[in-house]
Amino acid sequence: MDLKYSDEERAFADEIRAFVRAELDPAVRERVLNHKRLSKEDFLGWHRKLHEKGWVAPNWPKAYGGCGWNAVNRFIHEEVLAEEGAPPIVAFGINMIGPVLIAFGSDAQKQYYLPRILSGEDWWCQGFSEPGSGSDLASLRTKAVLDGDHWVVTGQKTWTTLAQYADLIFCLVRTDATVKKQDGISMLLIDMNSPGIIVRPIITIDGEHEVNEVFFDDVRVPKDNIVGEPGKGWTYAKFLLSHERSGIARVGQAKRELCRLKAIAKAELVDGVPLIETKTFREKIAAVEIELMALELTNLRMIAAEKSGQAPGAEANMLKIKGSEVQQSLTELMMEAVGPYALPFDPDALEQGWNGEPIGPDYAAPLAGTYFNYRKVSIYGGSNEIQRNILSKSLLGL
Amino acid sequence: MDFSLSETQRMLAETTDRLVRDRYGFEDRKKILAGPDGFSRPMWATFAELGLTGLGIAEEYDGLGGSMGDMAVVAESFGRALVVEPYMPTLVLGAGTLGLVGSDAQQAEILPQVAAGTCFLALAHGEPKSRYTLCHVETQAAADGGDYLLSGAKAVVLGGDAADHFLVSARTDGTTSAPHGISLFLVPRAAPGLTIRAYPNIDGTRAAELTLDRVRVPGSALLGQAGQALPTIAHAIDRAIAYLCAEAVGAMQALNALTLDYLKTRTQFGHPIGAFQVLQHRMVDMEVALEQARSMAILAADRADDPHPHERVRAVSAAKVQIGRSGRMIGQASVQMHGGIGITDEYAGGHYFKRLTLIDRTFGDADHHLVRFAAAAA
């Protein structure tokens, strides 16, 4: 038993930290740390820096331009990047469709798409959820019918994150309505510029435009743009959702947010006493810090098991549940920390280059919005209730 | 980073698991509890034969050596079986504290007997009014020639009914809650003026209230330096907490297994009750609580002897909070999902619930350690 990182692992973390500090645009870092709005270029600029260094795809095999790192190094990479205030690597290409193509794509698809994912040339989005198919994803109704050399796609996707930036969408579609619902699903790769696609923003309760509805009206998709075999889309989707799990608990980000929470609670005064020194609030912070300590160790235990050759299993679902709870607690406490200055709504203050007079403390503007926005984390990627359903079957045999 | 057990730990786990499987079933335990001592001296002799009473004791005193991580392996196994013998009081609080602060002569007198399985120890520190505050010591130790005269009361002394020697804290200086001025003394059970009121705890373990009325001990009974015992006591109790955390993980694991089995076998409305989603999700949450607790118990054992007290305190208190919360959640949910059977004496489940509940009350509950952690974090 040795709970400390090895010398090599510490050196690896130091190397990554030094790189982030040298290469990350300070303005972008400031926006990440202070919950300001990130532009497409903020994400992509950093993506390209990581790509030039060869560090953008820790989970891909070396043969495809990835790092080929083990689970521990992938975890360290993710954690250090988050702690240092780097924008998250956009997951849709690197963590989602990339691994699916590597495992199930045709040679032509791999040769064409994978380098473009690595370089950031293509921005992908995910076409899974539909208005009538949330937790019951397999009931999806967007259909694709073969017509000569093309699939003709009709239907609607929703909750499509950052579709407004996307060049391509990987889409679950029904290609056979006569079989069991899971067996009639295929995965298509669709150009977002195809005629017949309309993207409509969904504004969330924090006033932000992050998610969208995507409508497909007789969209013609080349026949070869199917992943693997028809009818196997459900299998590929499950592979996608279970593939990259070392980062699912978002430990690095949570540690960063805990530091921010403490900084805010030090700056806020209650009758002249820093909030962090008041009994009730200090104990609330301590409670979430302990939750986070336990989460980090649980994550490390699972990663160590993965590194030693055990396949990631039910544990990822646990990490999703606890990780989302910790993130939500942190956003809630940050909002709580600013007291009445949680009330003002000033979305302009989150915009790049805004240099107006803040309402209240300069850190207050994004906090309530982030709290409202972060209710999403226990809903997306399989709600926490769905995670419990999965664990109940896979871990408990119920 | 490596979370696997060492070779020694694997052997310890095998030894203790086999022992409790073969000889410490729930029915065996009932007989042990019903015996004259409330625990089994033959069982203790078996612990000694297997080397368990030498764990953590230096080899020069006939022990096997070993870290808190090694003891945690035993603790987890004992937790699964709800072992009631005074192992933690004797080995961790007694022998462990002697190892931290005892002189060569003191260790040589006592520790080989402990290793041989012929001597029980107990730390008599808490007092009727101290709750969980370690510096609250009213018991006085008055110098009298070369001797000390100890007077006061000690509360809920774990293993106090069986102890042959007590490690008693008393003030040689300072006011009631002063951190300085607390000293530790080795007091034999037969010392004149020492009254022991022994009793069972509600979970089957045993304890005692001590009254000291001018108990005379020689100067050689002083453990460590006069007036400097508080850091030692805090360290010793942190080690005991690390042990209890591992024991609690064993108990939680066993209780989760019982509960899951019950969900699969108990039928209502024509289905095993585990088919109902409301119970499935609750059971999943119990498993998550167990894994979080296990992570923190590992951390506590790893840091229990950390040379930086700050690191030790943070890890141990955080673990105690997690164990307290996980144990409460698992215990209450298990009873609820069992229905009435969960609170019957004849069923094992309720006994795990009791043990977990008392572990949270021992050496500071979750609320107490949340405050201690917050103070250490700031």
Judged by DSSP in three states, A338 sits in: coil
| A260 CA: distance to closest CA in chain B (Å) | 14
User: What domain range is B237 assigned to?
Assistant: 231-377
Q: Which of B260, B296, B371 sits opposite A297 (nearest CB)?
A: B296
* pLDDT confidence of residue B5: 93
**DSSP-assigned beta bridge partners for residue A130:** A133
ipTM for the predicted complex: 0.91
Whether residues A282 and B378 touch (CB distance < 8 A) is answered with yes
Out of A83, A84, A130, A244, the active site residue is A244
User: Which of these three, B169, B200, B228, is where a domain ends?
Assistant: B228
* Chain A residues closer than 8 Å to B283 by CB: 392, 396, 398
Tokens of B124: 């008599």
Pairing of strands B121-124, A273-274: unpaired
Pairing of strands A124-127, A168-174: parallel
Short-list A366, A337, A390, CA closest to A208: A366
- What is the per-residue burial (b if ≥16 Cβ within 10 Å, else e) of B304-317? bbbeeeeebbbbbb
CA distance A293 to B269: 42
Tokens of A249: 């608990």
Tokens of B192: 């004149």
CA distance B134 to B130: 7
- The answer to whether residue B369 sits within a structural domain is yes
Identify the CATH class of A124-233.
mainly beta
* B8 CB within 8 Å of a chain A CB: no
* Chain B residues closer than 8 Å to A297 by CB: 295-296, 298-299
What is the end-to-end Cα distance of chain A in Å, rounded?
33
Whether residues A2 and B6 touch (CB distance < 8 A) is answered with no
Are B291 and B335 contained in the same domain? yes
Whether residues A1 and B9 touch (CB distance < 8 A) is answered with yes
Q: Beta-carbon neighbour count of residue A53 at 10 Å?
A: 12
* pLDDT confidence of residue A312: 63
Whether residues B298 and A301 touch (CB distance < 8 A) is answered with yes
| A390 CA: distance to closest CA in chain B (Å) | 10
Tokens of B162: 């069986």
Map out the domains of chain A as residue ranges: 7-89, 124-233, 245-394
What integer is the mean pLDDT of B198-216? Answer: 97
* pLDDT confidence of residue A314: 77
* DSSP at B199: E
For B253, B280, B282, B284, B377, the CA distances from B277, given in Å and listed in that order, are 21, 5, 8, 10, 39
Whether residues B292 and A289 touch (CB distance < 8 A) is answered with no
B10, B249, B295, best to mutate vs chain A, most A CBs in 10 Å: B295
Short-list A204, A72, A54, CA closest to A115: A54
Check which CATH number belongs to the domain holding B150 and give it.
Answer: 2.40.110.10
Short-list B287, B149, B153, CA closest to B211: B153
* Chain B residues closer than 8 Å to A391 by CB: 284, 287
Name the closest residue on chain A to residue B275, using Cα atoms: A398
| B148 CA: distance to closest CA in chain A (Å) | 41
- The answer to whether residue B54 sits within a structural domain is yes
* pLDDT confidence of residue A246: 58
Maximum C-alpha span of chain A: 75
What integer is the mean pLDDT of B237-256? Answer: 98
Q: Which of A3, A295, A318 sits opposite B299 (nearest CB)?
A: A3
Question: Long-range contacts for B148-151 (Cβ within 8 Å, ≥24 apart)?
Answer: B148/B172, B148/B185, B148/B216, B148/B217, B148/B218, B148/B219, B148/B221, B148/B222, B149/B214, B149/B215, B149/B216, B150/B185, B150/B187, B150/B193, B150/B212, B150/B214, B150/B215, B150/B216, B150/B217, B151/B212, B151/B213, B151/B214, B151/B215
Residues 6+ away with beta carbon under 8 Å from A278: A270
Fold of A245-394: Butyryl-CoA Dehydrogenase, subunit A; domain 3 (1.20.140)
Are B247 and B360 contained in the same domain? yes
A332-387 tens-digit pLDDT: 999 999 999 999 999 999 998 888 999 999 999 999 999 999 999 999 988 999 99
Unique residue bearing structure tokens 């609170």: B343
* Chain A residues closer than 8 Å to B5 by CB: 1
pTM of the model: 0.93
* pLDDT confidence of residue A306: 81
Residues 6+ away with beta carbon under 8 Å from B292: A291, A294, A295, A298, A322, B322, B326
Percent of chain B with pLDDT over 70: 100
Phi first, then psi, for residue A140 (nearest 5°) are -55, 145
Q: Which of B283, B285, B295 sits opposite A297 (nearest CB)?
A: B295
Q: Can you give the length of chain A in residues?
A: 398
Phi first, then psi, for residue B171 (nearest 5°) are -85, 125
Q: Is A30 a catalytic residue?
A: no
- Number of A/B CB contacts below 8 angstroms equals 119
Give residue A213's identity as a one-letter amino acid code: E
* B258 CB within 8 Å of a chain A CB: no
Are B82 and B137 contained in the same domain? no
- Domain count for chain B, please give it: 3
Q: Do residues A385 and A305 touch, judged by C-beta distance below 8 A? A: no
* pLDDT confidence of residue A53: 97
Are B143 and B206 contained in the same domain? yes
| A261 CA: distance to closest CA in chain B (Å) | 13
Are B240 and B350 contained in the same domain? yes
Residue B178 has pLDDT above 60, yes or no: yes
Check which CATH number belongs to the domain holding B91 and give it.
Answer: 1.10.540.10
Residue B378 has pLDDT above 60, yes or no: no
Whether residues B287 and A391 touch (CB distance < 8 A) is answered with yes
Residue B317 has pLDDT above 70, yes or no: yes
The DSSP annotation for A204-256 comes to -TTS-EEEEEEEEEEEEEEGGGB-SSTT-HHHHHHHHHHH--TTTT-HHHHHH
Short-list B201, B3, B190, B193, CA closest to B88: B201
A308-340 tens-digit pLDDT: 877 666 788 999 999 999 999 999 999 999 999
Residues with pLDDT less than 70, chain A: 244-246, 311-313
Name the closest residue on chain A to residue B69, using Cα atoms: A1
Burial class (CB in 10 A: 0-12, 13-18, 19+), B285: middle
User: Which of these three, B169, B203, B228, is where a domain ends?
Assistant: B228
- The answer to whether residue B256 sits within a structural domain is yes
Q: Do residues A68 and A62 touch, judged by C-beta distance below 8 A? A: yes
H or E element at residue B15:
helix B7-23
A135, A273, A303, A398, best to mutate vs chain B, most B CBs in 10 Å: A398
CA distance B126 to B135: 9
Unique residue bearing structure tokens 């959702």: A241
User: Which of these three, B205, B228, B251, is where a domain ends?
Assistant: B228
Name the closest residue on chain B to residue A281, using Cα atoms: B374
Whether residues A289 and B288 touch (CB distance < 8 A) is answered with no
Pairing of strands B267-268, A197-203: unpaired
Are B338 and B241 contained in the same domain? yes
Q: Do residues A291 and A321 touch, judged by C-beta distance below 8 A? A: no
The DSSP annotation for A57-84 comes to -TTS-GGGTS----HHHHHHHHHHHHHT
- What is the per-residue burial (b if ≥16 Cβ within 10 Å, else e) of A370-398? bbbbbebbbeebbbbebbbbbbbeebbeb
Whether residues A392 and B298 touch (CB distance < 8 A) is answered with no
Unique residue bearing structure tokens 């030693």: A308
- The answer to whether residue B1 sits within a structural domain is no
What is the end-to-end Cα distance of chain B in Å, rounded?
27
Q: Do residues A172 and A128 touch, judged by C-beta distance below 8 A? A: yes
